[in-house]
Structure 1
Amino acid sequence: MKHALFVILTLTTLISCKLNQKKKEQQEPNGQRPSSAQLIDELDSNKDGKLSKVEVKGPIEDDFNNIDSNNDGFLTLEELNKQENKPSKIANTNKDLSNEIDSSMKVIPVNTDYFISENIIDSIKKEMVELNGIKTLCYVIKTNSQATEHEMGPWCPRHIEDGMEKAGIWFKDDKVYDVSGHFISKLNEFYSDDKWKLYREDGTIKVTDTEEGCLAAAKPQVEEKYHNYCVECLPEYFKDQITTFVIPVTPKYIKTTQNFGRGGIGIAFNGVKYDPPAPTHAILAAHTIAPLDDHGGHVNPHGGYHYHAVTGSTKEITQTNSHSSMIGYAIDGFGIYGLIDKKGNKSENLDECGGHFDDERGYHYHAGEPGGNQIIKCLHGLPGYTQTKE
């Protein structure tokens, strides 16, 4: 695992050097590392869409055969994506956090009775796992990340005359907007950009209504023919994917905050992932939108159905006092609670991650505004990880 991390870091360094030779607007936004698609774009000298051994050097050349899972002599986007999807686990073995644990803080163990058992594959198991150099007893939870309390979708309307009941929601500047046909027809005004036009002359809306279209559009580098599309992937395309959540049985409070990896940031009680913020910079750059449904979820090829917002659609654990209900667990084992309490008030004195302490719940998080594209902002606990098997 450490060698795999070394490979990825070396790849990132190599691409960063090349990107620095280009204009600043071509660099990866927000300081994030290049995606697998960008790695291929930068290293693929003959532009055949894959990497041969002569096109890579250093540790990636040394580890070429391990990454080349089908042994055809080339590294494809799919193979690099599989390597890229491992970092949330790899990151947990890279930095020793043992000196950062604050054992004086009250913590509440994870309660597996809260999960909808029918949504769990096999059963929840316990396993000793090394997280950031710390041997930790963890729950291993496997799901298909498919909601059961509510229908998944709809997402994209089909005609500019369609009402909001035929589509989902979108967000901007912490506000939520219904993606009606009218909204689609006015995107050029909404974003002050005349290049937006997701509909045809007859009023029909351009939607990725096939799995092929989903795969071509729901990625960082949207294929050009799907620019100016409403991106919709259906849950049935990826219903057999298995997402594994590894979460500490008893969370450990860390003095320093921990950034998210590329995996899920938590789990709802129905087994669906809570994900980091949606990559809106990549979505909007192609003049596409990828609406969430009214429940705050949508689908992508490397995680299936997942939530980017909390809208009150999933199972909740009601609290005995006026405190907001519990809606799931962060990947570090601390509980996530709703934004609003029973009296309609928001929680106050939240830290930089969106969490705080109280005597009954110990440290816990509160979900952010549905339009904020950020359920929680960071982690204050020893992080577990997620992995998705396609």
Structure 2
Amino acid sequence: MFHFRRSTAVACLALAPLVAQAQINVDSISQDALVSTPESVDCTLTDGSTATCLEITVKYVPENLEVGPFCPAMIDDIGGIWDWDGDEAGLYRIDAAFLTMLDEMGYHFYDEDGTVHVFDIRVEGPTDDNECISGSFDEAVEMTMLIPTTPVMADAPVSLGTVAKVGVSLSGVPVFADAPSALDTGHMPALDVCAGHVDPGGWYHYHGTATDLDTVYDHAGVEGSCANAIQDAKVQFGYAFDGFAIMGSLEHDGSVPRDLDECGGHVDGDTYHYHASEEFPNLPTCLVGLQAEDNYSTNAAGGIGAEGKGPGGQGGRPDFAAMAEALGVDEQLLARTLEEAGGPQADLAAVAAVLGVDEDALRAALPQRP
């Protein structure tokens, strides 16, 4: 079964029925990331109401942003980080000590000569039982996001499971929730020290609050520092997809936030915002506000948010309704499970186990892989 790395159960929050909300600042998103100037557009929120959203289209990676390393080439090299959730769970640098520990547990990520098993998820699949996942960029890729300009509280919060959409950083990098567990497929989608990596579609995104990782590393006792984001626990990191700000682990005056709700946020003065935590992944665990429908899309050939592309990254978009009917499962559950399992490189045996269907039947229902 899939190992969901944080609880998807969220209790109802005692939210104030009326909260004055600050509007999203158009000028706060870095010009280095933008394909075009963000503009206000009409949008529909998840409760069916109409609203105004900021439409932000960004590049596959912001200009001048140094990313990586992710996977070490040799066991004695030092790669990025990984939040291991098996035995001896914790945040680790991907180095000899960590890989040796995994090897002793039966996860063999390197050969006798010290060569680490690595594959590029955008263009190929794994050939060994345990491989470190890297990714190459597709410079033609663009991503478009819709964020309500004036946030509106929802009746109940929406939980954020694995690879759920969280928001966008002020640097213009999309932000997603916890990366898939290596326990599900045996393969490790390595993150760099800024908690980011390259999607199977060829674009960079974060899985943590990049501006406050020094706090996380200090808390976990891990050697690391994110150089592509100024480390300041008091500053804003970005905006969640409900329009509320995501701040560091401290208030702007350096004080410790008080009375945080289950999503990691609170009302400070007359405005709600989220705070990063000291533990990785240091992101909100749920979103309290309404989001825009179809709030994330990309022209990428595969991966998260790809339109008109199937799990194999090629051809037409699969008919999930027909497949779900054939398998006797929920359409949204089928689509979400495939995406969370890695999209083009999904482990279909694991997907079948989660859905409770026969693996051969699942393979027959899906479009033929290239």
Question: What is the TM-score when the length of structure 2 is the normalising length?
Answer: 0.66
State the identity as a percent: 30
Verify: 1:379 aligned to 2:287, yes or no.
yes
Cα separation, 1, equivalents of 2:267 and 2:209: 21
Verify: 1:140 aligned to 2:58, yes or no.
no
The alpha-carbon deviation at position 338 of structure 1 amounts to: 0.7
The alpha-carbon deviation at position 145 of structure 1 amounts to: 4.1
The alpha-carbon deviation at position 287 of structure 1 amounts to: 2.2
Cα separation, 2, equivalents of 1:245 and 1:359: 28
Partner of 1:73: none
1:262-282: CA deviation from partner (whole Å, max 9, x where unpaired): 6631000121111022121xx
The alpha-carbon deviation at position 230 of structure 1 amounts to: 1.0
Which of 1 and 2 has greater Rg?
1
The alpha-carbon deviation at position 158 of structure 1 amounts to: 1.3
| Structure 2 unaligned spans of 5+ | 7-13, 212-225, 301-370
Moved over 4 A (4+): 28-32, 100-103, 260-263, 313-318, 341-346
Verify: 1:299 aligned to 2:198, yes or no.
yes
Is the contact made by 2:180 and 2:189 (CA closer than 8 Å) also made in structure 1?
A: no
RMSD value, Cα: 3.0
The alpha-carbon deviation at position 386 of structure 1 amounts to: 1.2
What is the correspondence of 1:1-390 to structure 2 with a 5 Å cutoff? 25=1, 104-132=18-46, 133-148=48-63, 150-162=65-77, 164=78, 167-172=79-84, 175-189=90-104, 193-194=105-106, 196-209=107-120, 211-213=122-124, 216-217=125-126, 225-234=127-136, 236=137, 238-260=138-160, 264-280=165-181, 283-302=182-201, 304-312=203-211, 313=226, 324-341=234-251, 346-359=256-269, 362-369=271-278, 371=280, 373=281, 375-384=283-292, 385-390=295-300
Paired residues, what number?
Answer: 271
Is the contact made by 1:311 and 1:370 (CA closer than 8 Å) also made in structure 2?
A: no
- Relative distance call for 1:158 and 1:29 in structure 2 (3 A) is closer
1:232-289: CA deviation from partner (whole Å, max 9, x where unpaired): 112x2x3322111101111112231123486631000121111022121xx3233221
- Relative distance call for 1:187 and 1:147 in structure 2 (3 A) is farther
- Relative distance call for 1:241 and 1:265 in structure 2 (3 A) is same
The one-letter code sitting in structure 2 at the alignment partner of 1:240 is: A
Cα separation, 2, equivalents of 1:207 and 1:324: 37
The alpha-carbon deviation at position 359 of structure 1 amounts to: 1.1
The alpha-carbon deviation at position 374 of structure 1 amounts to: 5.4
| Structure 1 unaligned spans of 5+ | 1-24, 33-99, 218-224
Cα separation, 2, equivalents of 1:325 and 1:302: 30
Question: What is the TM-score when the length of structure 1 is the normalising length?
Answer: 0.62
Is the contact made by 2:210 and 2:237 (CA closer than 8 Å) also made in structure 1?
A: no
